[in-house]
Amino acid sequence: MSQPFQWLIQAFPPSPKWSPDDMPDLSGKVVLVTGGNSGIGFEMIKSLLRKNAKVYLAARSEQKGAAAIRALEQESGGKTAEFLQLDLSDLAAVRASAQEFAKRESHLDILFLNAGVMFPPPEQLTAQKYDATVGVNVVGHHLFLRLLYPLLLSRPSSGTSPGPARIVWVSSCANYLVPGCLDFATFTRTRTSGAHEKLKVDVDLFGMYCQSKLAQIQASALVARRAGEAGEDVVSIAVDPGHIRSDIFRGTTSFFFKLWDMLIAYPVSYGALTPLYAATSTEALAYNGKYLRAWARPGQPHPASYDREQQEQLWSWLEEQVKDYI
């Protein structure tokens, strides 16, 4: 089956057999959701609060985060989330956010690597001059995970938090559209000389998004494998939340994507289903290091996803990028 066809058929999944209402009680669990102020992240936090988890909403804008927390309190019966400022486009800010979280919590039960960008302005770069899409979706999240990983390992072995810590990577079926393997040369861009220092912008924005989603699946599989080899009680699962009607296409004027969003995409509440299943379901433990597609079904991602050599190449590249912030 061709990879583009794989991407297409994801638009028409069968009816879900699991819902967030099936989650167990999460009292005592500490959960962190990046990009929790809108879209899928917001929906996940709402369900997590209803199941009594202590949830941190990590987002760049304190104003938007505060507004989201007020809305969550109204929609979850008076339960509230905690705000954590996190700017994934600046590695120094990522480090500061992780340090702040470590001051507030001694452990972390569930980490949702959910925040993401698609179709940013083509000239936009992160503070460290990475392509904005890869910088936020991959590099920033990698550093955040590396800094929080000790808290995932320091969970109590008994009491209110049984079971392994879980990392859920909110990827996408866009991973199928990467031709071949990751192209690291496209992850950074340089400025041209001149009075106005104009930026080279001949970049395939959707292609960068697809690469970032494949990179997340590769990293998830590698984390799961290394944790298993080290005897660490950590589960890592990558998920495709489905074709969801959120604000992910806000940066594009493409008629195709606008039409797709209007006619094919599902309500955002559906997007929370698969990540929440991966994070809380006992059955999901069987998919450690694997890939779940909409709605909470096992799937087979891009062929490069489980290539160990490519996983190690990605990890080595990422480690080199964040070494000054560890």
- Residues carrying an active site annotation: 171, 209, 213
d(CA 229, CA 241): 28
Task: For CA atoms 262, 253, 89, 208, give the dihedral sign.
Answer: positive
Q: Parallel, antiparallel, or unpaired: how do β-strands 291-293 and 297-298 relate? A: antiparallel
Within a 10 A sphere around the Cβ of 265, how many other Cβ atoms? 19
d(CA 113, CA 104): 19
The Cα angle at residue 102 between residues 74 and 30, in degrees rounded to 5:
40
Cis omega (within 30 of 0) on the bond before 169?
Answer: no
d(CA 81, CA 279): 18
Yes or no: say if 98 and 91 are a contact pair by the CB < 8 Å rule: no
Closest-CA residue to 277 (of 290, 292, 289)? 292
d(CA 56, CA 140): 18
Write out the two tokens for 68: 């989201």
DSSP state letters, 123-162: T-B-TTSBBHHHIIIIIIHHHHHHHHHHHHHT--SSTT--
Calculate the dihedral angle through the C-alpha atoms of 25, 241, 98, 73, rounding to the nearest 10 degrees. -50
Looking at the DSSP bridge assignments, the partners of residue 234 are 165
Calculate the dihedral angle through the C-alpha atoms of 222, 224, 229, 234, rounding to the nearest 10 degrees. 140
Closest-CA residue to 277 (of 17, 33, 18)? 18
